[in-house]
Amino acid sequence: MIIITHRVAGIVAILTIACFWLATVFSELFATEAAVIAVKTAIPWGFLLLIPALVAAGGSGVSLAKGRRAGRVGTKRKRMPILAANGLLVLMPAAFFLAFKAQSHAFDAGFYIVQFVELTAGAVNLVLLGLNMRDGMAMAGRLRRRPA
């Protein structure tokens, strides 16, 4: 059961972050100001899904590791503080700031600077979560290297 929890929570987390990122990019590039406001306002509400998914993935991952710290488990463990710090110190404050600015129709330089930082930090988290997913699949035997 813990394996299923870990897989589902990890997938929910990475898909939620990807949705945030893609919705932001598409609304900024192709949509109206009203759509940007809607996306920026909705993202903090998405934390109600994302945070429990990340907690469940992290907790179940620690349980599945059973104290191991070497190999792929160790590599995944080393990525987690970066992911957590990036999320708690950059992405969440940026999301709340951008939601406030968007609701105030304040699309100024500060908004776009923070937007750039948020998109960059979000891309970093997507890459790190993707690497963790790849390593997890390899550990489970679901990912095989192709012969050269």
Distance CA 108, CA 128 (A): 30
Q: What angle do CA 61, 18, 95 make, to 5 degrees?
A: 95
State residue 97's pLDDT score: 97
Q: Is the model more confident about 148 or about 139?
A: 139
CB contact set of 36 (below 8 Å; sequence gap of 6+): 27, 28, 102, 107
Please state the rounded mean pLDDT for residues 84-102. 95
Whole-number pLDDT of residue 146: 63
The residue range of the domain holding 57 is 2-139
Q: Identify whether 147 is part of a domain.
A: no
Report the candidate in 22, 51, 47, 29 with the shortest Cα–Cα distance to residue 99: 47
- Enumerate residues 6+ apart whose C-beta is below 8 A from 9: 52, 53, 54, 56, 57, 60
In a domain, 144, yes or no: no
Is 86 part of a structural domain of the chain?
yes
Does a structural domain hold residue 112? yes
Average pLDDT over residues 119-148: 83
Structure-model confidence comparison of residues 101 and 136, the more confident one: 101
Report the number of distinct structural domains present in the chain.
1
Task: Specify the higher pLDDT residue, 92 or 138.
Answer: 92
